[in-house]
Amino acid sequence: MSNPPFSKIEYDRRLTKTRAAMASANLDVLFVTDPSNQAWLTGYDGWSFYVHQGVIVTMEGEPIWWGRYMDMMGGRRTCWMNHDNILGYGDHYVQSTVVHPMQDLAGHLKARRLDRARIGVEMENYYYSARAHQVFGAELPEATLVDATALVNWQRLVKSEEEIGFIRKAARISEKVIETAIERAAPGVRKNDLVADIMHAGITGVGDDWGDYPAIVPLTPSGLDATAAHLTWNGAAMKEGEATFFELSGCYRRYHAPLCRTVYLGAPPDEMIRAEAAQIEGIEAGLNAARPGNHICDIANAFMEVMAKYGIARDGRMGYPIGLSYPPDWGERTASIRSEDSTILEPGMVFHFMPALWMDSWGLETTETILIRDGGPAETLCDVDRRLFVKG
C-alpha cells in the first residue's frame, strides 16, 4: 500500500473493537458489505460498490477483502493487509443471470472450513441485496446466517484522534464550500453554475488538504423547492424574494463535516426572521446539552424547548453521527439526535446537528458538525457565522 490513511495501530484498534462486538453476538464470521465499513476496517477505497464486494472478518488473523478481480488490484493499492488476503472473482459473475458472485464468496468460506459457522451479514444495507442473501444461504446450507446490521457502524461511533484530525481537515473544506456558495449567490446566477463553483471549491480543497467527492451531492433548493429537504439543483436562475439553503460538506479522505447555511436574496419575511432567532437560540441550547454523560435526546429536547417557546412546530430527527462515508449518505446510520434516543454521549463522538426548519413557503437550514469533548458543551468544528445571510 503506497499511502495508508491511518496507522497500523489504528486499524488494529478497529479490528479489536469489531471482534469484541462479534463475540458478544456469538459470531464466528462477519461479512461486511457497507463500503464505509469496508474502508474503516481495511482502507479499501474505490468506486466499485455497484458490484458485490465485502470484507470477511474472523476471530483471528487479518481481515479479507473480496470483490471483483479488476477491483482486487485497487484493494492491493489501498488495503493495509497482505495481498494473500485480497481476493477477486472473475467477470463472468458480474450481472450474470446464470451465476452469482456470492457463489464465489461461499467457496472461499468452504475452503477455510467456515461453511458451518455463524456468519453475520448486514441485512439492512444498501449494498447487500435480497438475491445475494438467497444465493449465499443456498450455497452454505449448514451455516447460520445472522443479521449483523450496523454491528461495525456502532464501533465507529467514538472517533479516534486520527479520525478527528481528518474531520477537522474536512471542516476547513466545508467552510470554503459554504463561503463560496454564499459569495456567489445572487439574482440571475444559474443554479448549475453555482453548484459547479461549489464542487470546484470542494475538490480543490484547502492548501495541501485535497478534497474528495462528498457522499451526498450539493443540496441547493430555492423558494418553494426549499420547503423540501433533499432536492438538488436545476438550470434556473436565482431570483430576489427567495431563500436558498445550502446543505454541503467538505470531504477529506472520505471523512465529512457537513455544514448548512441559508441565503435570502432581498428582504426576508418577518416570520423567517423570527424563525432564525429561534433556530439560533435552539442550536445554542442543544450545544450546551451536548456534554459527555448526557443522552443524545437531551440535545433534541433542549432545541425543542426553545422551539416551543417561540410557538414553532418541529419534530422528527435533527441529526446523526458522521465520519467516514460513501454515497448515498454521509451519516453512519446508528444513533439519532431525537427525543427517543437515550444513547449516552461520550468524548470523541461527532454529529451533524441539523435542526432545519421546512415551512410552507420557505426552508431554513443552519447546522453544525459538533464534537463531544471531555467536558463542557460540544465543540463546533466549522467556523462560519451562524445566521441567515441576507443579500440585496
pLDDT at 384 over 70: yes
Same domain, 151 and 174: no
Same domain, 201 and 129: no
Query: What is the distance between the alpha carbons of residues 26 and 251, in angstroms, rounded to a whole number?
Result: 36
Residue finishing a domain among 112, 137, 155 = 155
> In which domain, by residue range, is 189 found?
161-391
Contacting residues for 178 by C-beta, under 8 A, at least 6 apart: 246, 248, 259, 260, 261, 382, 384
Same domain, 224 and 135: no
> Which element (helix H / strand E) includes 18?
helix 8-24
What mean pLDDT value characterizes the chain?
97
pLDDT at 1: 55
In a domain? residue 1: no
* Order of strands, sheet of 118-121, starting from the edge strand that comes earlier in the sequence: 86-89, 64-68, 54-58, 29-32, 118-121, 144-147
Same domain, 250 and 353: yes
Per-residue pLDDT tens over the stretch 45-83: 999 999 999 999 999 999 999 999 999 999 999 999 999
pLDDT at 251: 98
Same domain, 362 and 385: yes
In a domain? residue 64: yes
pLDDT at 121: 98
Same domain, 149 and 206: no
Residue finishing a domain among 134, 155, 176 = 155
pLDDT at 149 over 60: yes
Query: What is the distance between the alpha carbons of residues 169 and 43, in angstroms, rounded to a whole number?
Result: 18
pLDDT at 71: 97
- φ, ψ dihedrals at 268, nearest 5°: -70, 150
- CATH number, domain containing residue 126: 3.40.350.10
Per DSSP, 223 falls in state: G
Count of domains forming the chain: 2
Same domain, 57 and 132: yes
Per-residue pLDDT tens over the stretch 323-360: 999 999 999 999 999 999 999 999 999 999 999 999 99
- CATH number, domain containing residue 374: 3.90.230.10
Same domain, 270 and 323: yes
In a domain? residue 22: yes
In a domain? residue 339: yes
Same domain, 133 and 188: no
Contacting residues for 267 by C-beta, under 8 A, at least 6 apart: 390
Cβ distance 371 to 181 under 8 Å? no
In a domain? residue 93: yes
Same domain, 219 and 150: no
Residue finishing a domain among 155, 181, 202 = 155
In a domain? residue 3: no
Per-residue pLDDT tens over the stretch 230-246: 999 999 999 999 999 99
Same domain, 247 and 385: yes
Same domain, 12 and 113: yes
